[in-house]
Every structure is written in structure tokens, then in C-alpha cells.
């Protein structure tokens, strides 16, 4: 790792990782408690979709605002904003008494999650300029890594109530607050960031706009499938949804940790194209598998989506560097915004497919199993489109080298 006489890059990186674990816990534990929320508050899957939507929607709003604020206020103030939003959102969720409070509290948590991304992605990119994609992959180890831990916690605490599971999120929150406390942060002058006018030129370039479209699809391929895993696979015989989520995210964490050799050998676009192809195979198999084959399909899905998010951000930093912190934040924000918009639709796909199955004489677990399979087939469209887009991008980019802001 690179270090500076002005700030402790290693400690800031570690603190950023714990902040991302908080984000991941929110994602995993919410996925694990959806059934309990549906029962306690008498919610449909479409209503659960709106709760997911608010949790995810807070993320892009924060990243889009944060992209502008990073150059002005720097990462320190933004991280304390993230902390306040996390604490407020977690406590409101624990004491929620109705659907509307759940909507608001999940929005606050999502806003905290997005602020973490808006502050930490450009800060890490700035601290490790010569190794951006590798270090961003190592940072983003802790999103699937945190989901892995959170999914296991949710699985083993499922008889202790959903409030207790939510309260566990306060642990990584307290750790990242401690690690950031009293530290000097890199500022705009030391970051080498381009000016806002240069940021805008990069953002409105054809390549950046193309990558925004790809980000919409990669984010939904990865996150919409994972967020609904409990509802999609709960009634598949021989499969335990939260164990599958832990398996997927655990493999993703390992893959991201060792991302350097993979990215170096295949280059970022090759990694993205290969991931799209494997994602198609994995989701298709999940939509048809049962028993042990569900775990095989989950492994393929994990390999497929493993490098999507950090490699999209790393590609932005290396090939569209003038877009700066703003461009990186908007890239992540676009992915999360699209994922947020999709959540009620995914919930409605489940409700509609279940109703259709019931109209054909299926009931209970059988109807729920069919609903999950049909919804997975809808989600399969996202990576299929990506195979085409990333294939074209590979041919376009094959002779281009990364750029650097002077």
C-alpha cells in the first residue's frame, strides 16, 4: 500500500472497509428478515419491494450529491454524515411500528450507505493512484464479505427476532467510527482530482454514457437477484436461501481479494465480458435447479457477478479519469438508482407469478417455487444484454491504454 506523511492510508483504508461492512450488513440482514416483516406488518411482496426500494434509493441520492460535495468538503465531513445516517436509520428501524416508518428508516440507512461509497471510492482511488482497480476490488471485498457474514448472522439469529438482527449493524458502525476518529484525511489538493468542468467533460463523453447503461444492468444482475434470494429460493427443495447468499458472497469476497492477477491477465473489459457470460449461465441454472444443483448454480452466479461493481468503478477511474470523484459517484449512483427502481417490479413479478400459479391449481410451496423460477427468468434478461454490450466494448477498447489526469 502507498502511504503519505500527511495521513495514514492503511488505517483509512481499514476504516473504509468497516464502513462498507455496515452497508453490506444492511443489505444481507434486510434480505433475511423480509419474510418476518411481511408477517408482522401484513405486507405483500410488492410492499416489501417498496421497502427495498427506499433502502436502495437513498444510496444513489447520496452518491450523486456526494460526488459534487467530495471536491468541496472532502471525505472527512462526508464520513461523519454517513455515520449519523447509519445510526439514525438503524435505531428507527429497530423501533419501527408501521410500514411508513420502515420506508423512512431504510431510506436513511441507504443514504448512509451511499455516502460511504461517495467518500471512500474516490479517497481510495486518490491514495492508491497506480493501483486503482486492484485496490478498489480489495475495498469492495467487504461488500460481499460483509453480506457473507451478515447472511450467516441472519441465518443463526432467525429465531431471535428481526430487531435483534438489525441491532447487529451497530457493531461495524461503531468500529468504523473509532477508526476514523482523530485521523487526518486526504484533501482535494492532495488528491489530484480534475476540476468540476473537466469532470463534466468526462461525464458527457460517449464512453462514460455507455458505461452508465452497462452499470444499470450489472447492478441489477448482481443486487436484485441477491436482495430477493430469500423470496426467490425459499421453497426450492434442498436449498437454504441465506446459506446460498452466504456462499455467493463468500466466493465473491475471495475473488475480489485476489482480483489483481485476474484484472491484469484479462484487462477490465475482458473481466466484465466474461462475467456477463457466466452470469447468464448461473441465473438460468438457478431458475431450473433444485437441491444440490441450486448451490452449483449459485457458485456460477457468484463467479459471474464477482468483479462487476469494482471493475466498473476502476474502469471509470482508469479510462475516463477526467470524470473524477463526481464521475465515480454518479456511476455507482446510477447502478443503485436503477436497482431501486426495479425493486417494486421484482416484488410484483413474484406476486403476479404466484397468482398465476395458483390460478392453475398450485398452492403453498409449489406456487411460491414457480413464482421464484419465473422471476429469475425475468432477471436473466439483464446479463443477456450485457453479453452483447461488453462484447462490443471489448472490440472497441482492445488497443486503448488507461489515461491519467496530469
pLDDT of 135 > 80? The answer is no
Q: Which residue has the higher pLDDT, 91 or 159?
A: 91
On whether the CB atoms of residues 31 and 227 are closer than 8 A, the answer is yes
List CB contacts of 42: < 8 A, sequence separation 6 or more: none
Mean pLDDT of 283-288: 88
Mean pLDDT of 375-389: 93
**pLDDT the model gives residue 259:** 67
On whether the CB atoms of residues 291 and 239 are closer than 8 A, the answer is yes
**pLDDT the model gives residue 132:** 67
List CB contacts of 339: < 8 A, sequence separation 6 or more: 56, 219, 220, 223, 224, 227
Q: Which residue has the higher pLDDT, 253 or 299?
A: 299
**pLDDT the model gives residue 383:** 94
- The burial of 88, by beta-carbon neighbours within 10 Å (0-12 exposed, 13-18 middle, 19 or more buried), is given as middle
Per-range mean pLDDT, top range of 199-208, 258-267, 316-325 = 199-208
CB atoms within 10 A of CB 384: 16
**pLDDT the model gives residue 194:** 58
CB atoms within 10 A of CB 397: 17
Per-range mean pLDDT, top range of 56-60, 131-135, 174-178, 184-188 = 174-178
**pLDDT the model gives residue 2:** 45
User: In terms of Cα–Cα distance, which of 22, 21, 42, 26 is closest to 226?
Assistant: 26
Q: What band does 405 get if pLDDT is binned at 50, 70 and 90?
A: very low
- The CA distance from 122 to 192, in Å, is 11
Angle at 254 between CA 145 and CA 229, to 5 degrees: 50
Of the ranges 30-34, 275-279, 379-383, which one carries the lowest mean pLDDT score? 30-34
H or E element at residue 73:
helix 45-94
**pLDDT the model gives residue 236:** 67
pLDDT of 240 > 80? The answer is no
- The CA distance from 261 to 276, in Å, is 19
On whether the CB atoms of residues 302 and 182 are closer than 8 A, the answer is no
Q: What band does 175 get if pLDDT is binned at 50, 70 and 90?
A: very high
pLDDT of 189 > 60? The answer is no
User: In terms of Cα–Cα distance, which of 248, 37, 32 is closest to 155?
Assistant: 32
- Mark 329-367 as b/e (b = at least 16 C-beta within 10 Å): bbbbbbbbbbbbebbbebbebbbebbeebbeeebeeeeb
Read off the DSSP letter of residue 160: S
pLDDT of 105 > 70? The answer is yes
Mean pLDDT of 156-166: 83
Dihedral sign computed on CA atoms, order 272, 278, 283, 286: negative
List CB contacts of 358: < 8 A, sequence separation 6 or more: 367
Of the ranges 91-105, 188-202, 309-323, 356-370, which one carries the lowest mean pLDDT score? 188-202
The 10s digit of each residue's pLDDT in 334-351 is 888 888 888 888 888 888
pLDDT of 125 > 80? The answer is no
- Mark 159-173 as b/e (b = at least 16 C-beta within 10 Å): eeebeebbbbbbebb
pLDDT of 131 > 50? The answer is yes
Helix 206-219 and helix 381-397, axial crossing angle in degrees, nearest 10:
150
**pLDDT the model gives residue 209:** 93
Q: What band does 272 get if pLDDT is binned at 50, 70 and 90?
A: very high
List CB contacts of 10: < 8 A, sequence separation 6 or more: 1, 3
**pLDDT the model gives residue 276:** 94
* Per-position DSSP letters for 235-297, written without gaps between them: TSTT--HHHHHHHHHHHHHHHHHTHHHHHHHHHHHHHHHHHHHHHHHHHHHHTT--THHHHHH
**pLDDT the model gives residue 257:** 78
Q: Is 195 left (phi over 0), alpha (psi -120 to 50) or beta?
A: beta
On whether the CB atoms of residues 9 and 3 are closer than 8 A, the answer is yes
10-181+198-397: which CATH number, 1.10.8.60, 2.170.190.11, 1.20.1250.20, 2.40.37.10? 1.20.1250.20
The 10s digit of each residue's pLDDT in 256-265 is 777 666 665 6
pLDDT of 382 > 70? The answer is yes
Angle at 67 between CA 66 and CA 73, to 5 degrees: 60
Mean pLDDT of 364-372: 81
How much is the pTM?
0.74
Grid cell locating 220: 441489477
Q: What band does 234 get if pLDDT is binned at 50, 70 and 90?
A: low
- The CA distance from 125 to 154, in Å, is 33
User: In terms of Cα–Cα distance, which of 164, 162, 172 is closest to 113?
Assistant: 172
Mean pLDDT of 309-331: 80
The 10s digit of each residue's pLDDT in 4-18 is 457 787 788 889 899
**pLDDT the model gives residue 191:** 46
- Give the mean pLDDT of the chain: 82
- The CA distance from 322 to 210, in Å, is 16
On whether the CB atoms of residues 94 and 166 are closer than 8 A, the answer is yes
**pLDDT the model gives residue 307:** 85
**pLDDT the model gives residue 22:** 92
Q: Which residue has the higher pLDDT, 245 or 384?
A: 384
- The CA distance from 51 to 340, in Å, is 10
**pLDDT the model gives residue 193:** 53
**pLDDT the model gives residue 1:** 44
- The CA distance from 330 to 84, in Å, is 22
Q: Which residue has the higher pLDDT, 143 or 89?
A: 89
Amino acid at each position: 500500500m502507498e502511504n503519505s506523511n500527511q495521513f495514514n492510508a492503511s488505517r483509512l483504508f481499514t476504516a473504509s472497509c468497516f464502513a462498507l461492512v455496515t452497508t453490506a450488513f444492511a443489505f444481507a440482514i434486510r434480505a433475511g428478515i423480509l419474510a418476518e416483516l411481511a408477517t408482522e406488518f401484513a405486507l405483500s411482496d410488492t410492499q416489501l419491494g417498496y421497502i427495498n426500494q427506499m433502502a436502495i434509493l437513498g444510496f444513489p441520492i447520496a452518491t450523486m450529491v456526494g460526488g459534487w460535495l467530495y471536491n468541496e468538503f472532502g471525505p472527512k465531513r462526508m464520513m461523519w454524515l454517513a455515520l449519523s445516517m447509519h445510526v439514525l436509520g438503524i435505531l428507527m428501524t429497530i423501533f419501527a411500528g408501521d410500514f411508513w416508518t420502515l420506508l423512512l428508516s431504510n431510506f436513511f440507512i441507504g443514504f448512509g450507505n451511499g455516502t460511504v461509497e461517495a467518500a471512500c471510492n474516490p479517497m481510495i482511488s486518490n491514495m492508491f493512484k497506480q493501483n486503482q482497480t486492484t485496490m478498489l476490488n480489495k475495498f469492495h471485498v467487504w461488500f460481499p464479505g460483509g453480506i457473507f457474514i451478515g447472511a450467516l448472522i441472519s441465518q443463526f439469529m432467525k429465531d431471535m427476532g428481526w430487531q435483534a438482527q438489525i441491532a447487529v449493524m451497530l457493531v461495524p458502525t461503531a468500529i468504523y467510527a473509532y477508526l476514523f476518529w482523530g485521523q487526518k484525511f486526504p484533501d482535494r489538493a492532495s488528491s489530484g482530482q480534475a476540476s468540476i468542468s473537466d469532470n463534466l467533460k468526462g461525464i458527457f463523453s460517449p464512453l462514460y454514457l455507455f458505461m452508465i447503461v452497462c452499470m444499470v444492468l450489472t447492478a441489477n444482475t448482481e443486487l436484485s437477484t441477491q436482495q430477493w434470494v430469500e423470496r426467490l429460493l425459499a421453497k426450492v427443495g434442498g436449498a437454504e436461501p441465506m446459506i446460498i447468499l452466504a456462499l455467493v458472497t463468500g466466493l465473491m469476497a475471495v475473488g475480489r481479494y485476489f482480483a489483481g492477477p485476474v484484472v491484469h491477465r484479462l484487462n477490465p473489459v475482458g473481466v466484465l465480458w466474461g462475467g456477463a457470460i457466466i452470469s447468464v449461465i448461473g441465473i438460468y441454472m438457478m431458475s431450473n435447479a433444485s437441491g444440490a444443483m441450486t448451490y452449483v448454480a449459485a457458485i456460477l452466479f457468484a463467479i459471474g457477478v464477482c468483479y462487476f461493481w469494482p471493475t466498473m468503478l476502476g474502469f471509470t477511474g482508469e479510462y475516463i479519469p477526467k470524470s473524477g470523484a463526481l464521475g465515480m459517484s454518479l456511476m455507482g449512483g446510477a447502478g443503485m438508482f436503477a436497482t431501486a427502481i426495479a425493486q417494486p417490479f421484482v416484488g410484483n413479478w413474484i406476486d403476479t407469478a404466484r397468482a398465476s400459479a395458483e390460478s392453475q391449481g398450485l398452492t403453498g410451496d409449489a406456487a411460491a417455487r414457480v413464482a421464484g423460477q419465473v422471476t429469475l427468468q425475468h432477471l436473466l434478461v439483464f446479463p443477456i444484454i450485457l453479453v452483447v454490450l461488453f462484447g462490443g466494448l471489448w472490440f472497441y477498447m482492445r488497443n486503448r491504454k488507461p489515461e491519467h489526469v496530469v
